Structure 1
Amino acid sequence: MVTRKMISIDEELCNGCGQCVPACEEGALAIVDGKAKLVKEIYCDGLGACLGDCPTGALKVEVREAEDFNPEAVAEHLKAQGRTVPGHMPDPESLRLDKPAGGPRPMGGCPGSAMQALTPCGQANVPTATAPAGGSQLSHWPIQLRLVPPTAPFLKEADLLLTADCVAAAYPGYHAEFVPGRVVLMGCPKFDNQMEYVEKLAGIIGENDLKSITVLEMEVPCCSSMSVILGEAVKRAGKSVDTIRVTISRTGTILSSVPLEFQS
Protein backbone atom coordinates (compact mmCIF):
# COMPACT_ATOMS: atom_id res chain seq x y z
CA MET A 1 0.00 0.00 0.00
CA VAL A 2 1.19 3.53 -0.82
CA THR A 3 -0.13 7.03 -0.17
CA ARG A 4 -1.49 8.56 -3.34
CA LYS A 5 -4.51 10.25 -4.87
CA MET A 6 -7.61 8.23 -5.57
CA ILE A 7 -11.07 8.90 -6.95
CA SER A 8 -13.90 8.74 -4.42
CA ILE A 9 -17.61 8.67 -5.21
CA ASP A 10 -20.43 10.23 -3.18
CA GLU A 11 -23.26 7.77 -3.80
CA GLU A 12 -25.87 10.23 -2.56
CA LEU A 13 -24.89 12.66 -5.33
CA CYS A 14 -24.36 10.02 -8.03
CA ASN A 15 -27.38 9.64 -10.33
CA GLY A 16 -25.93 6.75 -12.33
CA CYS A 17 -25.73 8.71 -15.59
CA GLY A 18 -22.51 6.90 -16.56
CA GLN A 19 -20.76 9.90 -18.13
CA CYS A 20 -17.70 9.27 -15.99
CA VAL A 21 -17.18 5.74 -17.32
CA PRO A 22 -15.91 6.61 -20.84
CA ALA A 23 -14.13 9.67 -19.42
CA CYS A 24 -11.79 7.34 -17.51
CA GLU A 25 -9.30 6.13 -20.12
CA GLU A 26 -8.03 3.44 -17.74
CA GLY A 27 -11.46 1.82 -17.24
CA ALA A 28 -11.39 2.31 -13.47
CA LEU A 29 -15.09 3.22 -13.20
CA ALA A 30 -18.26 1.25 -13.87
CA ILE A 31 -21.98 1.57 -13.15
CA VAL A 32 -23.06 -1.07 -10.64
CA ASP A 33 -26.62 -1.21 -9.32
CA GLY A 34 -27.30 2.26 -10.67
CA LYS A 35 -24.26 3.95 -9.09
CA ALA A 36 -20.72 4.69 -10.22
CA LYS A 37 -18.18 2.41 -8.58
CA LEU A 38 -14.38 2.20 -8.54
CA VAL A 39 -13.62 -1.17 -10.16
CA LYS A 40 -10.12 -1.59 -8.71
CA GLU A 41 -7.62 0.76 -7.13
CA ILE A 42 -4.88 -0.49 -9.44
CA TYR A 43 -6.82 0.85 -12.46
CA CYS A 44 -7.16 4.41 -11.11
CA ASP A 45 -4.26 6.86 -11.59
CA GLY A 46 -6.00 9.40 -9.33
CA LEU A 47 -5.38 12.30 -11.71
CA GLY A 48 -9.06 13.20 -11.93
CA ALA A 49 -9.68 13.26 -15.69
CA CYS A 50 -13.24 12.10 -14.99
CA LEU A 51 -14.15 14.98 -12.66
CA GLY A 52 -15.26 17.36 -15.38
CA ASP A 53 -17.70 14.82 -16.83
CA CYS A 54 -19.77 14.32 -13.64
CA PRO A 55 -22.84 16.60 -13.80
CA THR A 56 -23.68 16.24 -10.10
CA GLY A 57 -20.23 16.68 -8.55
CA ALA A 58 -20.26 13.17 -7.08
CA LEU A 59 -16.61 12.55 -7.94
CA LYS A 60 -13.64 14.00 -6.11
CA VAL A 61 -9.96 13.24 -5.62
CA GLU A 62 -8.78 12.30 -2.15
CA VAL A 63 -5.38 11.38 -0.75
CA ARG A 64 -5.28 8.03 1.05
CA GLU A 65 -3.52 4.70 1.25
CA ALA A 66 -4.21 2.55 -1.80
CA GLU A 67 -2.68 -0.08 -4.03
CA ASP A 68 -0.16 1.14 -6.58
CA PHE A 69 -1.42 2.12 -10.03
CA ASN A 70 -0.65 -0.78 -12.40
CA PRO A 71 -0.36 0.15 -16.12
CA GLU A 72 0.07 -3.50 -17.17
CA ALA A 73 -3.13 -4.51 -15.38
CA VAL A 74 -4.92 -1.55 -16.94
CA ALA A 75 -3.84 -2.66 -20.42
CA GLU A 76 -5.12 -6.20 -19.84
CA HIS A 77 -8.38 -4.86 -18.38
CA LEU A 78 -9.03 -2.57 -21.36
CA LYS A 79 -8.15 -5.23 -23.92
CA ALA A 80 -10.60 -7.62 -22.26
CA GLN A 81 -13.29 -4.95 -22.67
CA GLY A 82 -12.34 -4.23 -26.27
CA ARG A 83 -11.33 -0.68 -25.36
CA THR A 84 -8.35 1.27 -26.61
CA VAL A 85 -5.24 1.16 -24.43
CA PRO A 86 -3.81 4.70 -23.88
CA GLY A 87 -0.52 5.31 -25.61
CA HIS A 88 0.94 6.75 -22.43
CA MET A 89 0.17 6.07 -18.78
CA PRO A 90 1.86 7.61 -15.73
CA ASP A 91 4.66 5.80 -13.96
CA PRO A 92 3.28 4.44 -10.64
CA GLU A 93 6.21 5.94 -8.75
CA SER A 94 5.31 9.43 -9.97
CA LEU A 95 1.88 9.09 -8.35
CA ARG A 96 3.15 8.21 -4.87
CA LEU A 97 3.04 10.96 -2.27
CA ASP A 98 5.08 9.15 0.39
CA LYS A 99 8.20 10.81 -1.04
CA PRO A 100 8.86 13.31 -3.83
CA ALA A 101 8.49 11.65 -7.21
CA GLY A 102 11.90 10.89 -8.65
CA GLY A 103 13.69 12.32 -5.61
CA PRO A 104 14.37 15.97 -4.84
CA ARG A 105 14.67 18.44 -7.68
CA PRO A 106 17.18 21.06 -6.56
CA MET A 107 16.67 24.47 -8.12
CA GLY A 108 19.55 25.51 -10.30
CA GLY A 109 20.72 21.95 -10.98
CA CYS A 110 20.12 22.45 -14.67
CA PRO A 111 21.51 25.59 -16.36
CA GLY A 112 18.32 25.80 -18.40
CA SER A 113 16.24 26.33 -15.25
CA ALA A 114 17.99 29.56 -14.25
CA MET A 115 15.58 32.50 -14.03
CA GLN A 116 15.94 35.06 -16.76
CA ALA A 117 14.03 38.15 -17.87
CA LEU A 118 13.69 38.16 -21.64
CA THR A 119 12.46 41.75 -21.75
CA PRO A 120 13.28 44.80 -19.59
CA CYS A 121 12.40 44.43 -15.90
CA GLY A 122 8.67 44.43 -15.34
CA GLN A 123 7.75 44.12 -19.00
CA ALA A 124 5.85 40.89 -18.27
CA ASN A 125 3.30 42.93 -16.34
CA VAL A 126 2.82 45.68 -18.93
CA PRO A 127 -0.20 44.94 -21.16
CA THR A 128 0.46 44.97 -24.88
CA ALA A 129 -2.37 46.20 -27.09
CA THR A 130 -1.24 44.31 -30.15
CA ALA A 131 1.51 41.76 -30.47
CA PRO A 132 4.02 42.22 -33.32
CA ALA A 133 3.75 39.68 -36.08
CA GLY A 134 5.96 36.63 -35.63
CA GLY A 135 8.40 35.81 -32.90
CA SER A 136 8.05 34.67 -29.31
CA GLN A 137 6.18 36.87 -26.84
CA LEU A 138 7.74 35.24 -23.77
CA SER A 139 8.96 37.75 -21.19
CA HIS A 140 10.74 35.40 -18.78
CA TRP A 141 12.33 31.99 -18.23
CA PRO A 142 11.69 29.27 -17.07
CA ILE A 143 8.05 28.70 -17.91
CA GLN A 144 7.47 25.19 -16.52
CA LEU A 145 5.37 25.49 -13.36
CA ARG A 146 7.51 23.08 -11.35
CA LEU A 147 10.67 25.12 -12.08
CA VAL A 148 9.36 28.57 -11.12
CA PRO A 149 9.75 29.51 -7.43
CA PRO A 150 6.93 31.51 -5.78
CA THR A 151 9.47 34.30 -5.14
CA ALA A 152 10.33 34.80 -8.82
CA PRO A 153 10.39 38.58 -9.41
CA PHE A 154 8.32 38.41 -12.59
CA LEU A 155 5.36 37.03 -10.58
CA LYS A 156 4.80 40.23 -8.59
CA GLU A 157 1.42 41.77 -9.50
CA ALA A 158 1.37 39.61 -12.61
CA ASP A 159 -1.42 38.57 -14.92
CA LEU A 160 -0.82 34.82 -14.86
CA LEU A 161 -1.33 32.54 -17.87
CA LEU A 162 -1.61 28.96 -16.57
CA THR A 163 -1.32 26.81 -19.69
CA ALA A 164 -1.75 23.08 -20.22
CA ASP A 165 1.24 21.95 -22.27
CA CYS A 166 -0.67 20.93 -25.40
CA VAL A 167 -2.45 24.26 -25.85
CA ALA A 168 0.55 26.07 -27.34
CA ALA A 169 0.83 23.42 -30.07
CA ALA A 170 -2.90 23.20 -30.77
CA TYR A 171 -3.87 26.89 -30.80
CA PRO A 172 -2.17 28.87 -33.61
CA GLY A 173 -2.80 32.27 -32.00
CA TYR A 174 -1.32 31.36 -28.62
CA HIS A 175 1.59 33.84 -28.68
CA ALA A 176 -0.26 36.68 -30.36
CA GLU A 177 -3.51 36.48 -28.39
CA PHE A 178 -2.66 35.17 -24.93
CA VAL A 179 1.03 35.62 -24.08
CA PRO A 180 1.55 39.40 -24.40
CA GLY A 181 1.31 41.10 -21.02
CA ARG A 182 1.03 37.81 -19.11
CA VAL A 183 3.42 35.58 -17.17
CA VAL A 184 3.34 32.06 -18.63
CA LEU A 185 3.39 28.96 -16.44
CA MET A 186 3.01 25.63 -18.24
CA GLY A 187 2.42 22.06 -17.11
CA CYS A 188 0.65 18.78 -17.78
CA PRO A 189 -2.05 17.94 -15.19
CA LYS A 190 -2.18 14.31 -16.29
CA PHE A 191 1.45 13.21 -16.23
CA ASP A 192 2.99 15.56 -13.66
CA ASN A 193 2.52 15.42 -9.87
CA GLN A 194 -0.72 17.27 -9.17
CA MET A 195 -0.05 17.79 -5.47
CA GLU A 196 3.25 19.48 -6.35
CA TYR A 197 1.27 21.77 -8.64
CA VAL A 198 -1.23 22.56 -5.87
CA GLU A 199 1.54 23.45 -3.42
CA LYS A 200 3.46 25.51 -5.97
CA LEU A 201 0.40 27.49 -7.10
CA ALA A 202 -0.71 28.06 -3.51
CA GLY A 203 2.73 29.53 -2.81
CA ILE A 204 2.59 31.72 -5.90
CA ILE A 205 -0.90 33.02 -5.05
CA GLY A 206 0.03 33.58 -1.42
CA GLU A 207 3.33 35.36 -2.12
CA ASN A 208 2.22 37.63 -4.96
CA ASP A 209 -0.63 40.06 -5.47
CA LEU A 210 -1.70 38.56 -8.78
CA LYS A 211 -3.97 40.73 -10.89
CA SER A 212 -5.62 37.85 -12.74
CA ILE A 213 -5.27 34.23 -13.78
CA THR A 214 -6.16 32.86 -17.21
CA VAL A 215 -6.32 29.06 -17.37
CA LEU A 216 -5.85 27.56 -20.83
CA GLU A 217 -6.97 23.92 -21.13
CA MET A 218 -7.57 21.50 -23.97
CA GLU A 219 -11.03 19.99 -24.47
CA VAL A 220 -9.75 16.50 -23.60
CA PRO A 221 -10.81 15.22 -20.15
CA CYS A 222 -7.32 14.97 -18.64
CA CYS A 223 -6.83 18.72 -19.07
CA SER A 224 -9.89 19.71 -17.03
CA SER A 225 -8.06 18.91 -13.81
CA MET A 226 -5.86 22.01 -14.25
CA SER A 227 -8.80 24.09 -13.01
CA VAL A 228 -9.33 21.62 -10.16
CA ILE A 229 -5.68 21.99 -9.17
CA LEU A 230 -5.97 25.78 -9.25
CA GLY A 231 -9.14 25.68 -7.17
CA GLU A 232 -7.42 23.68 -4.44
CA ALA A 233 -4.43 26.04 -4.56
CA VAL A 234 -6.68 29.08 -4.11
CA LYS A 235 -8.33 27.38 -1.15
CA ARG A 236 -4.97 26.68 0.48
CA ALA A 237 -3.64 30.17 -0.20
CA GLY A 238 -6.77 31.78 1.21
CA LYS A 239 -6.70 34.48 -1.48
CA SER A 240 -9.11 34.86 -4.38
CA VAL A 241 -7.94 36.02 -7.79
CA ASP A 242 -10.04 36.97 -10.83
CA THR A 243 -9.87 33.86 -13.02
CA ILE A 244 -11.00 32.97 -16.53
CA ARG A 245 -10.99 29.45 -17.96
CA VAL A 246 -10.48 29.12 -21.72
CA THR A 247 -11.03 25.74 -23.39
CA ILE A 248 -9.29 24.97 -26.69
CA SER A 249 -10.41 22.32 -29.17
CA ARG A 250 -8.09 19.78 -30.72
CA THR A 251 -8.61 21.54 -34.05
CA GLY A 252 -7.31 24.82 -32.67
CA THR A 253 -10.44 26.85 -31.89
CA ILE A 254 -11.70 28.46 -28.68
CA LEU A 255 -14.68 26.44 -27.44
CA SER A 256 -15.46 28.53 -24.36
CA SER A 257 -14.20 31.34 -22.16
CA VAL A 258 -15.88 31.52 -18.76
CA PRO A 259 -15.07 33.15 -15.40
CA LEU A 260 -14.30 30.83 -12.50
CA GLU A 261 -15.11 31.48 -8.87
CA PHE A 262 -13.16 29.55 -6.25
CA GLN A 263 -13.91 29.48 -2.55
CA SER A 264 -10.77 30.74 -0.79
Structure 2
Amino acid sequence: MGKRTIIEIDQELCDGCGTCETGCPEGALRIIGGKARLVGESLCDGLGACIGHCPKGAIHITERDADEYDEIAVLKEILPQGNPLLQAHFAHLDHHGQDLYLERAVNFLTSQGLPIPGGYERFGQKKAFAFSKPCGSGYAVSSPAKTQNAAGSPNASGGDAPAPSVFPAKPSGSSSLKNWPIQLHLANPRSPHFAGADVVVAADCTAFALGSFHADIVSGKSLVIACPKLDSGKDIYRAKLAEVIGQVRSVSVVIMEVPCCSGLLRLAQDARTDSGSKLPIQVLVVGIDGGFVARKTI
Protein backbone atom coordinates (compact mmCIF):
# COMPACT_ATOMS: atom_id res chain seq x y z
CA MET A 1 0.00 0.00 0.00
CA GLY A 2 1.23 3.48 -0.84
CA LYS A 3 -0.03 6.98 -1.58
CA ARG A 4 -1.69 7.32 -5.00
CA THR A 5 -4.63 8.99 -6.72
CA ILE A 6 -8.00 7.31 -6.22
CA ILE A 7 -11.62 8.38 -6.45
CA GLU A 8 -13.61 9.56 -3.44
CA ILE A 9 -17.40 9.74 -3.18
CA ASP A 10 -19.22 12.47 -1.26
CA GLN A 11 -21.99 10.44 0.35
CA GLU A 12 -23.98 13.58 1.14
CA LEU A 13 -24.18 14.55 -2.54
CA CYS A 14 -24.65 11.05 -3.96
CA ASP A 15 -28.30 10.18 -4.67
CA GLY A 16 -27.62 6.60 -5.78
CA CYS A 17 -28.66 7.15 -9.40
CA GLY A 18 -26.13 4.57 -10.61
CA THR A 19 -24.83 6.40 -13.68
CA CYS A 20 -21.28 6.21 -12.30
CA GLU A 21 -21.44 2.41 -12.46
CA THR A 22 -21.76 2.51 -16.24
CA GLY A 23 -18.88 4.99 -16.40
CA CYS A 24 -16.52 2.63 -14.57
CA PRO A 25 -15.61 -0.30 -16.82
CA GLU A 26 -13.24 -1.57 -14.12
CA GLY A 27 -16.14 -2.43 -11.79
CA ALA A 28 -14.82 -0.43 -8.84
CA LEU A 29 -18.21 1.19 -8.12
CA ARG A 30 -21.43 -0.40 -6.94
CA ILE A 31 -24.71 1.01 -5.62
CA ILE A 32 -25.08 -0.33 -2.09
CA GLY A 33 -27.70 0.92 0.33
CA GLY A 34 -28.80 3.59 -2.11
CA LYS A 35 -25.32 5.12 -2.42
CA ALA A 36 -22.35 4.65 -4.73
CA ARG A 37 -19.54 2.79 -2.99
CA LEU A 38 -15.94 2.04 -3.92
CA VAL A 39 -16.02 -1.74 -3.55
CA GLY A 40 -12.33 -2.38 -4.18
CA GLU A 41 -9.37 -0.01 -4.09
CA SER A 42 -7.36 -2.33 -6.32
CA LEU A 43 -10.08 -2.01 -8.99
CA CYS A 44 -9.84 1.80 -9.16
CA ASP A 45 -7.16 3.12 -11.51
CA GLY A 46 -7.59 6.69 -10.23
CA LEU A 47 -7.99 8.13 -13.74
CA GLY A 48 -11.47 9.46 -12.98
CA ALA A 49 -13.51 8.22 -15.94
CA CYS A 50 -16.54 8.04 -13.64
CA ILE A 51 -16.40 11.71 -12.64
CA GLY A 52 -18.07 13.05 -15.77
CA HIS A 53 -20.92 10.55 -15.37
CA CYS A 54 -22.02 11.88 -11.97
CA PRO A 55 -24.82 14.48 -12.33
CA LYS A 56 -24.43 15.54 -8.70
CA GLY A 57 -20.68 16.17 -8.75
CA ALA A 58 -20.29 13.70 -5.90
CA ILE A 59 -17.13 12.04 -7.23
CA HIS A 60 -13.68 13.57 -7.22
CA ILE A 61 -10.07 12.42 -7.23
CA THR A 62 -8.04 12.49 -4.06
CA GLU A 63 -4.58 11.30 -3.07
CA ARG A 64 -4.22 8.95 -0.13
CA ASP A 65 -2.78 5.62 0.98
CA ALA A 66 -4.57 2.93 -1.01
CA ASP A 67 -4.06 -0.56 -2.35
CA GLU A 68 -2.16 -0.61 -5.64
CA TYR A 69 -4.31 -0.78 -8.77
CA ASP A 70 -4.46 -4.38 -10.04
CA GLU A 71 -5.05 -4.66 -13.80
CA ILE A 72 -5.37 -8.45 -13.70
CA ALA A 73 -8.04 -8.33 -10.97
CA VAL A 74 -9.93 -5.77 -13.07
CA LEU A 75 -9.81 -8.02 -16.14
CA LYS A 76 -11.19 -10.92 -14.14
CA GLU A 77 -14.14 -8.70 -13.18
CA ILE A 78 -14.69 -7.50 -16.74
CA LEU A 79 -14.32 -10.70 -18.78
CA PRO A 80 -17.56 -12.39 -17.63
CA GLN A 81 -19.49 -9.27 -18.70
CA GLY A 82 -18.61 -9.53 -22.38
CA ASN A 83 -16.44 -8.00 -25.08
CA PRO A 84 -18.08 -4.51 -25.26
CA LEU A 85 -17.07 -3.77 -21.68
CA LEU A 86 -13.57 -5.13 -22.30
CA GLN A 87 -13.26 -2.89 -25.37
CA ALA A 88 -14.43 0.10 -23.31
CA HIS A 89 -11.82 -0.66 -20.66
CA PHE A 90 -9.02 -0.84 -23.24
CA ALA A 91 -10.19 2.41 -24.84
CA HIS A 92 -10.25 4.06 -21.40
CA LEU A 93 -6.65 3.04 -20.67
CA ASP A 94 -5.53 4.10 -24.15
CA HIS A 95 -7.19 7.51 -23.81
CA HIS A 96 -5.25 8.15 -20.61
CA GLY A 97 -1.95 6.91 -22.04
CA GLN A 98 -1.73 3.90 -19.70
CA ASP A 99 0.49 1.80 -21.97
CA LEU A 100 1.89 -0.25 -19.08
CA TYR A 101 -1.58 -1.37 -17.98
CA LEU A 102 -2.48 -2.15 -21.60
CA GLU A 103 0.65 -4.27 -21.89
CA ARG A 104 -0.27 -6.18 -18.75
CA ALA A 105 -3.81 -6.69 -20.01
CA VAL A 106 -2.73 -7.95 -23.44
CA ASN A 107 -0.17 -10.30 -21.93
CA PHE A 108 -2.74 -11.69 -19.51
CA LEU A 109 -5.33 -12.28 -22.23
CA THR A 110 -2.68 -13.92 -24.39
CA SER A 111 -1.62 -16.21 -21.54
CA GLN A 112 -5.25 -17.28 -21.14
CA GLY A 113 -5.71 -17.90 -24.85
CA LEU A 114 -8.30 -15.12 -25.09
CA PRO A 115 -8.71 -12.72 -28.03
CA ILE A 116 -7.26 -9.21 -27.84
CA PRO A 117 -9.62 -6.29 -28.56
CA GLY A 118 -9.01 -5.00 -32.07
CA GLY A 119 -6.14 -2.55 -32.49
CA TYR A 120 -4.42 -3.34 -29.19
CA GLU A 121 -2.30 -6.32 -30.22
CA ARG A 122 0.73 -4.00 -30.42
CA PHE A 123 0.81 -3.82 -26.62
CA GLY A 124 2.02 -7.42 -26.35
CA GLN A 125 5.07 -8.40 -24.31
CA LYS A 126 7.94 -6.05 -25.14
CA LYS A 127 10.39 -6.82 -22.35
CA ALA A 128 12.15 -9.81 -20.88
CA PHE A 129 10.43 -9.06 -17.58
CA ALA A 130 7.01 -7.82 -16.50
CA PHE A 131 6.26 -5.09 -13.99
CA SER A 132 4.00 -6.69 -11.43
CA LYS A 133 5.11 -4.70 -8.39
CA PRO A 134 4.09 -1.24 -7.19
CA CYS A 135 6.19 1.84 -7.80
CA GLY A 136 8.13 1.50 -4.57
CA SER A 137 9.44 -1.99 -5.30
CA GLY A 138 12.97 -2.69 -6.49
CA TYR A 139 13.88 -3.98 -9.93
CA ALA A 140 17.15 -5.30 -11.31
CA VAL A 141 17.92 -3.60 -14.61
CA SER A 142 20.32 -5.08 -17.12
CA SER A 143 21.00 -4.51 -20.78
CA PRO A 144 23.94 -5.52 -22.99
CA ALA A 145 25.20 -1.95 -23.08
CA LYS A 146 25.22 -1.70 -19.28
CA THR A 147 26.56 -5.13 -18.26
CA GLN A 148 29.33 -4.82 -15.69
CA ASN A 149 32.20 -7.14 -14.78
CA ALA A 150 32.52 -8.55 -18.29
CA ALA A 151 35.53 -10.75 -19.02
CA GLY A 152 38.71 -8.74 -18.77
CA SER A 153 37.27 -5.95 -16.62
CA PRO A 154 38.75 -5.13 -13.20
CA ASN A 155 37.80 -7.66 -10.51
CA ALA A 156 35.80 -9.75 -13.02
CA SER A 157 37.36 -12.92 -11.62
CA GLY A 158 37.59 -11.77 -8.03
CA GLY A 159 41.15 -10.46 -8.37
CA ASP A 160 42.79 -7.65 -6.46
CA ALA A 161 43.02 -5.11 -9.28
CA PRO A 162 42.57 -1.56 -7.94
CA ALA A 163 39.15 0.00 -8.35
CA PRO A 164 38.95 2.72 -10.99
CA SER A 165 38.58 6.36 -9.99
CA VAL A 166 35.02 7.16 -8.93
CA PHE A 167 34.78 10.22 -11.18
CA PRO A 168 36.38 11.00 -14.54
CA ALA A 169 38.74 13.95 -14.86
CA LYS A 170 36.21 15.85 -17.00
CA PRO A 171 32.66 15.37 -18.29
CA SER A 172 32.26 13.17 -21.34
CA GLY A 173 29.33 15.20 -22.67
CA SER A 174 27.97 18.72 -22.56
CA SER A 175 24.87 20.00 -20.80
CA SER A 176 21.88 21.24 -22.78
CA LEU A 177 20.30 23.12 -19.88
CA LYS A 178 19.21 26.64 -20.84
CA ASN A 179 17.36 27.63 -17.65
CA TRP A 180 17.88 27.40 -13.90
CA PRO A 181 16.48 26.46 -11.43
CA ILE A 182 14.66 23.48 -12.92
CA GLN A 183 12.86 22.05 -9.87
CA LEU A 184 9.24 23.14 -10.24
CA HIS A 185 8.90 24.47 -6.70
CA LEU A 186 11.90 26.73 -7.32
CA ALA A 187 11.16 27.74 -10.91
CA ASN A 188 9.60 31.15 -11.57
CA PRO A 189 6.78 30.76 -14.13
CA ARG A 190 7.30 34.39 -15.15
CA SER A 191 10.89 33.72 -16.17
CA PRO A 192 11.66 34.83 -19.74
CA HIS A 193 12.93 31.29 -20.37
CA PHE A 194 9.31 30.14 -20.66
CA ALA A 195 7.83 32.89 -22.83
CA GLY A 196 7.18 31.45 -26.29
CA ALA A 197 9.44 28.49 -25.49
CA ASP A 198 9.27 24.76 -26.06
CA VAL A 199 8.96 23.45 -22.50
CA VAL A 200 9.61 19.97 -21.12
CA VAL A 201 7.97 18.86 -17.87
CA ALA A 202 9.97 15.81 -16.79
CA ALA A 203 9.63 13.38 -13.91
CA ASP A 204 12.77 13.37 -11.78
CA CYS A 205 13.81 9.80 -12.57
CA THR A 206 13.70 10.16 -16.35
CA ALA A 207 17.05 11.92 -16.51
CA PHE A 208 18.72 8.96 -14.79
CA ALA A 209 16.94 6.21 -16.70
CA LEU A 210 17.48 7.78 -20.12
CA GLY A 211 21.16 8.07 -20.99
CA SER A 212 20.50 10.47 -23.86
CA PHE A 213 18.28 12.78 -21.80
CA HIS A 214 20.18 15.97 -22.65
CA ALA A 215 20.57 15.26 -26.35
CA ASP A 216 17.12 13.79 -26.98
CA ILE A 217 14.92 15.67 -24.52
CA VAL A 218 16.44 18.91 -23.21
CA SER A 219 18.29 20.30 -26.22
CA GLY A 220 16.74 23.59 -27.32
CA LYS A 221 14.02 23.49 -24.68
CA SER A 222 13.28 24.93 -21.25
CA LEU A 223 12.96 22.35 -18.49
CA VAL A 224 11.13 21.84 -15.20
CA ILE A 225 11.23 18.64 -13.14
CA ALA A 226 8.99 17.17 -10.44
CA CYS A 227 8.11 13.88 -8.76
CA PRO A 228 4.37 13.17 -8.77
CA LYS A 229 4.68 10.51 -6.07
CA LEU A 230 6.91 12.07 -3.42
CA ASP A 231 6.67 15.85 -3.86
CA SER A 232 4.26 17.85 -1.73
CA GLY A 233 2.41 21.00 -2.73
CA LYS A 234 0.89 19.67 -5.95
CA ASP A 235 -1.64 22.52 -5.91
CA ILE A 236 1.34 24.87 -6.25
CA TYR A 237 2.70 22.73 -9.09
CA ARG A 238 -0.64 22.92 -10.87
CA ALA A 239 -0.84 26.70 -10.54
CA LYS A 240 2.73 27.17 -11.76
CA LEU A 241 2.28 24.84 -14.71
CA ALA A 242 -0.94 26.62 -15.68
CA GLU A 243 0.95 29.90 -15.83
CA VAL A 244 3.78 28.31 -17.82
CA ILE A 245 1.50 26.51 -20.29
CA GLY A 246 -0.43 29.71 -20.91
CA GLN A 247 2.60 31.34 -22.53
CA VAL A 248 4.65 28.58 -24.19
CA ARG A 249 4.91 27.48 -27.82
CA SER A 250 4.80 23.76 -27.01
CA VAL A 251 4.72 21.51 -23.96
CA SER A 252 6.05 17.98 -23.56
CA VAL A 253 5.71 15.66 -20.58
CA VAL A 254 8.33 12.95 -19.99
CA ILE A 255 7.45 10.28 -17.44
CA MET A 256 8.59 6.83 -16.36
CA GLU A 257 6.61 3.71 -17.19
CA VAL A 258 5.78 2.93 -13.55
CA PRO A 259 2.13 3.68 -12.67
CA CYS A 260 2.77 6.36 -10.05
CA CYS A 261 4.54 8.54 -12.61
CA SER A 262 1.35 9.07 -14.62
CA GLY A 263 0.32 11.59 -11.96
CA LEU A 264 2.62 14.15 -13.58
CA LEU A 265 0.73 13.87 -16.86
CA ARG A 266 -2.61 14.33 -15.08
CA LEU A 267 -1.16 17.38 -13.34
CA ALA A 268 -0.11 18.87 -16.68
CA GLN A 269 -3.53 18.14 -18.19
CA ASP A 270 -5.29 19.84 -15.27
CA ALA A 271 -2.93 22.80 -15.55
CA ARG A 272 -3.66 23.10 -19.27
CA THR A 273 -7.38 23.22 -18.49
CA ASP A 274 -6.79 25.90 -15.85
CA SER A 275 -4.75 27.97 -18.31
CA GLY A 276 -7.43 27.85 -21.01
CA SER A 277 -4.81 26.67 -23.49
CA LYS A 278 -5.65 24.25 -26.30
CA LEU A 279 -2.03 23.20 -26.83
CA PRO A 280 -1.53 19.49 -27.41
CA ILE A 281 0.68 17.77 -24.84
CA GLN A 282 3.40 15.57 -26.31
CA VAL A 283 3.97 12.60 -23.99
CA LEU A 284 7.04 10.37 -23.86
CA VAL A 285 7.12 7.34 -21.57
CA VAL A 286 10.60 6.11 -20.60
CA GLY A 287 11.32 2.53 -19.54
CA ILE A 288 13.50 1.69 -16.55
CA ASP A 289 15.79 -0.06 -19.02
CA GLY A 290 16.46 3.29 -20.71
CA GLY A 291 14.28 2.86 -23.78
CA PHE A 292 11.24 4.68 -25.14
CA VAL A 293 8.12 2.74 -24.12
CA ALA A 294 5.44 4.94 -25.68
CA ARG A 295 4.79 8.26 -27.40
CA LYS A 296 1.41 9.94 -27.43
CA THR A 297 -0.21 13.30 -28.11
CA ILE A 298 -3.00 14.32 -25.76
| TM-score bin (small chain) | 0.5 to 0.7
Percent identity between matched residues is 29
Query: Do the aligned partners of 1:51 and 1:59 also contact (CA within 8 Å) in 2?
Result: no
Number of the residue aligned with 2:22? 12
Going from structure 1 to structure 2, the CA distance change for 1:202 and 1:252 (only over 3 Å counts) comes to same
- Equivalent positions of 1:85-104 (< 5 A) are 87=136
**What is the CA–CA distance in structure 2 between the aligned matches of 1:259 and 1:235, rounded to whole Å?**
16
When normalised by structure 1's length, the TM-score is 0.56
Number of the residue aligned with 1:249? 287
**What is the CA–CA distance in structure 1 between the aligned matches of 2:268 and 2:135, rounded to whole Å?**
26
Letter in 2 for 1:62: H
Q: Does 1:169 align with 2:208?
A: yes
When normalised by structure 2's length, the TM-score is 0.50
**What is the CA–CA distance in structure 1 between the aligned matches of 2:260 and 2:276, rounded to whole Å?**
26
Ranges in structure 2 where 5+ consecutive residues have no aligned partner:
10-19, 53-58, 68-131, 138-171
Specify which of 234, 239, 243 is matched with residue 194 of structure 1: 234
**What is the CA–CA distance in structure 2 between the aligned matches of 1:188 and 1:248, rounded to whole Å?**
14
The residue matched to 1:228 in structure 2 has which SS?
Answer: helix
Determine which structure has greater relative contact order: mean sequence separation of CA pairs < 8 Å that are 6+ residues apart, divided by chain length: 1
Write the deviation string for residues 100-156 of structure 1: whole angstroms up to 9, x where unpaired.
xxxxxxxxxxxxxxxxxxxxxxxxxxxxxxxxx712111121001111122111111
Query: Do the aligned partners of 1:14 and 1:36 also contact (CA within 8 Å) in 2?
Result: no
**What is the CA–CA distance in structure 2 between the aligned matches of 1:137 and 1:13, rounded to whole Å?**
44
Deviation at residue 84 of structure 1 after TM alignment:
7.6
**What is the CA–CA distance in structure 2 between the aligned matches of 1:190 and 1:254, rounded to whole Å?**
21
**What is the CA–CA distance in structure 2 between the aligned matches of 1:216 and 1:136, rounded to whole Å?**
18
Going from structure 1 to structure 2, the CA distance change for 1:59 and 1:84 (only over 3 Å counts) comes to farther
Aligned length in residues: 176
Number of the residue aligned with 1:108? none
**What is the CA–CA distance in structure 1 between the aligned matches of 2:241 and 2:22, rounded to whole Å?**
32
Write the deviation string for residues 56-90 of structure 1: whole angstroms up to 9, x where unpaired.
x23798368xxx95x6xx79xxxxxxx989759xx
Letter in 2 for 1:11: E
Going from structure 1 to structure 2, the CA distance change for 1:198 and 1:251 (only over 3 Å counts) comes to same
Write the deviation string for residues 172-198 of structure 1: whole angstroms up to 9, x where unpaired.
110111111000100011122322211
**What is the CA–CA distance in structure 1 between the aligned matches of 2:39 and 2:194, rounded to whole Å?**
40
Letter in 2 for 1:201: L
The residue matched to 1:230 in structure 2 has which SS?
Answer: helix
Letter in 1 for 2:46: L
**What is the CA–CA distance in structure 1 between the aligned matches of 2:249 and 2:39, rounded to whole Å?**
40
More strand by share: 1
Letter in 1 for 2:8: S
Going from structure 1 to structure 2, the CA distance change for 1:155 and 1:137 (only over 3 Å counts) comes to same
Going from structure 1 to structure 2, the CA distance change for 1:219 and 1:204 (only over 3 Å counts) comes to same
The residue matched to 2:193 in structure 1 has which SS?
Answer: helix
Letter in 2 for 1:191: L
The residue matched to 1:136 in structure 2 has which SS?
Answer: coil
Larger radius of gyration: 2
Give the root-mean-square deviation of aligned CA atoms: 3.7
Letter in 1 for 2:242: A
**What is the CA–CA distance in structure 2 between the aligned matches of 1:243 and 1:85, rounded to whole Å?**
26
Query: Do the aligned partners of 1:140 and 1:183 also contact (CA within 8 Å) in 2?
Result: yes
**What is the CA–CA distance in structure 1 between the aligned matches of 2:280 and 2:135, rounded to whole Å?**
35
